[in-house]
Amino acid sequence: MNLLLAEVAQATQRLADAGVPSPRFDAEELAAFVHGVKRGELHNVPDADFDARYWEAVARREAREPLQHITGRAFFRYLELQVGPGVFVPRPETESVVGWAIDAVRAMDVVEPMIVDLCTGSGAIALAMAQEVPRSRVHAVELSEEALTWTRKNAEGSRVTVHRGDALTALPELDGQVDLVISNPPYIPLTEWEYVAPEARDHDPEMALFSGEDGLDTIRGIERTAHRLLRPGGLVVIEHADTQGGQVPWIFTEERGWADAADHPDLNGRPRFATARKAMP
């Protein structure tokens, strides 16, 4: 075992003792980042090249600073995104939400589908949709100017059109023209603040996390925005907490102009997102 791998083993134990959920992965990822190699190449780093700044990075992660803030990057489906303070770090569970949406859009008989991503944050969802549905026209909406700094960096050179705006009033010029509305909105109840992981509670923007007493305030607003934006037969896809399974589809009722409202599980089998179709007139 070379010096770096021995240090990674020590770092793994320190991160585990600090309650970090994935200590081995994070210790290796930090080592790879600091030494400018891939995780699978750590064993090739000569002992003389060991960089003591590794322990500075480990100490930051030990204090529960998000791994992605330390490295400045987050991986989402086939993307590498720039992230940092002021923007929500995309989570792996959202990848299954996007996967469902991509399949749904591909199944539509539409040559150039129009997609709107509300509460876009880093732009992860919008950029994945644009990349994997090549002829789509994708609009990304974000209210926070701080988050938009990261959205614009990530969207540079892409086909995603970035808008600063409120998800509840966004894009009136597109009313009735959109094929799919997708969102990972804030959905944590204010009453659950103390139960949120330190990485999110202390580092993600509050406006990207919390939404009223039951966590559903923003989703209720997006329901009206989605109905306004979508063409008849268009789809809405919205992420929610696993504890909100069953609640969100009831927001998209037939009385409010929806059909086929349903919940869907993530890769762990937990309720993760709801979908509905705008009813035909």
Which of the residues 23, 33, 76, 88 is marked catalytic? 88
Three-state secondary-structure class, residue 91: coil
Give the residue from 74, 73, 72 showing the smallest Cα distance to 91: 74
Ligand-binding annotation for 142, yes or no, is yes
Three-state secondary-structure class, residue 279: coil
Ligand-binding annotation for 184, yes or no, is yes
Three-state secondary-structure class, residue 197: coil
Q: Is 184 marked active-site?
A: yes
Q: Is 249 marked active-site?
A: no
Which of the residues 23, 66, 90, 185 is marked catalytic? 185
- Alpha helices per DSSP H over 36-174: 53-62, 67-71, 93-106, 124-132, 145-155
List of E strands, the chain: 73-76, 79-82, 114-118, 137-142, 160-164, 178-183, 230-239, 258-265, 271-278
Q: Is 271 marked active-site?
A: no
Ligand-binding annotation for 78, yes or no, is no
Tokens of 160: 């995603």
Ligand-binding annotation for 187, yes or no, is yes
**Positions marked active-site:** 88, 184-185
Binding-site residue set for substrate: 184-187
Binding-site residue set for S-adenosyl-L-methionine: 142, 184
